[in-house]
Copies of this chain bind each other. A is one copy, B any other.
């Protein structure tokens, strides 16, 4: 047995998070795609069945009150809050990430005022953020500039209204310096909007601590909410009174059942709601968040870094030098919870990996992406994934 297999055994034996794996439905596949779709938490199927059969099927319309459907967006927001370093009352769940980027960016531009006419957006971001930013700019009469996050500090100025950045790059897995960039944006008098899709649930975010203005994120990656589970929107408490939504649906009205023809926004985070929440997806997410009840994000982060370090060590040991190139930064302070390896035949390689029971994903044109969810990925998984990769690369 190789030294790396023994190392993996020892690391797993010492891992205090190892028992959490039993909270998920998993098989003998090495699942390194939790940064795309998190695995199924074991308590979710029973909860969903109760929501469908009893809450919908028996209580029907009464469930809007009696089963807490109506208040789910803010209640579940408060469950996500500690995972991203937010005090309660600042997050609502609902809509897709794209829709929340739109709400956040238009609201940020309006807060910045008329004289600031430029939006900066991370050019390396997941494309939807750029597309939506372009629409927000067009509809609010602002100019959009796409640039590398490293260029943001020098691009900031009196004209900057808002900056939309990804905390962790979806492709290469680079972790951006949220505290420093937020401080630089604030120093220029602009607002910072962060997309947390690839960081929430994998590493500490510290929204309140670092004074982030607005943030959005999905819940189906490291939060394991299920396919297309609703996204969330964070609006810092002291900005909520100025949050002027471009999607002022009736769910965000101060008196939604008053059915008033004129709009009056609700106080607090509720102002970020739009239409009727999709209850099935939302309550599946609520159940999925139970997994986190006794888990600290800092312990998750420590294991994530240990896992990705160990995986890289195994890749180096099992793979011919130069066959793959790691594009994820080595320094811990710049690394998310994934490893991206560049190789020219990445598409084919990933197919062979999946056929061998190692599930990552392929990102056009040449990236093998492996996501490490510390809640259920073991060091043995990391060793096996690297070993199979070495065999597949041959």
A:118-142 near B, CB below 8 Å: 123, 126-128, 130-132, 134-135, 139-140
Kindly list chain B residues whose C-beta atoms are within 8 Å of the C-beta of A226: 52, 56, 279-280
Give the nearest-CB partner of A96 in chain B: B275
Kindly list chain B residues whose C-beta atoms are within 8 Å of the C-beta of A98: 247, 249-251, 274-275
Which residue in B52, B58, B249 is a CB contact (below 8 Å) of A27?
Answer: B58
Q: Size range of the interface on A? A: 35 or more
Kindly list chain B residues whose C-beta atoms are within 8 Å of the C-beta of A69: 227-228
Kindly list chain B residues whose C-beta atoms are within 8 Å of the C-beta of A97: 275-276
Asked whether A96 lies within 8 Å of B364 as measured between CB atoms, the reply is: no
Taking the closest CB of chain B, its distance from the CB of A247, in whole angstroms, is 6
Contact indicator per residue, chain A 204-227, by CB within 8 Å of chain B (1) or not (0):
000000000000001010000011
A322 to B364, CA, bound (A): 70
Taking the closest CB of chain B, its distance from the CB of A139, in whole angstroms, is 4
Q: Which of A6-14, A159-167, A258-266 forms contacts with chain B?
A: A258-266
Asked whether B45 lies within 8 Å of A53 as measured between CB atoms, the reply is: yes
A257 to B132, CA, bound (A): 16
Taking the closest CB of chain B, its distance from the CB of A32, in whole angstroms, is 10
Contact indicator per residue, chain A 263-298, by CB within 8 Å of chain B (1) or not (0):
100000000001111111110100000000000000
Count this chain's copies in the assembly.
2
Asked whether B364 lies within 8 Å of A259 as measured between CB atoms, the reply is: yes
Asked whether B52 lies within 8 Å of A284 as measured between CB atoms, the reply is: yes
Contact A45 to B49, CB < 8 A, known contacts A229-B278, A284-B280: yes
Does A361 reach chain B (CB closer than 8 Å)? yes
Contact indicator per residue, chain A 233-264, by CB within 8 Å of chain B (1) or not (0):
00000000000011111110100011111010
Contact indicator per residue, chain A 318-335, by CB within 8 Å of chain B (1) or not (0):
000000000000000000
Give the nearest-CB partner of A100 in chain B: B275
Kindly list chain B residues whose C-beta atoms are within 8 Å of the C-beta of A187: none
Asked whether B128 lies within 8 Å of A275 as measured between CB atoms, the reply is: yes
* Most interface-central of A36, A128, A135, A359 (chain B CB within 10 A): A128
Give the interface of A toward B (CB within 8 A). 25, 27, 31, 33, 36-37, 39-40, 44-45, 48-49, 52-53, 55-58, 60-61, 63-64, 69, 95-99, 102, 106, 123, 126-128, 130-132, 134-135, 139-140, 146, 171, 218, 220, 226-231, 245-251, 253, 257-261, 263, 274-282, 284, 359, 361, 363-364
Add 14 more A-B contacts to A48-B280, A128-B250 (CB < 8 A): A40-B56, A45-B53, A56-B227, A64-B227, A96-B249, A96-B275, A98-B247, A127-B250, A127-B260, A131-B253, A131-B263, A146-B261, A227-B279, A228-B276
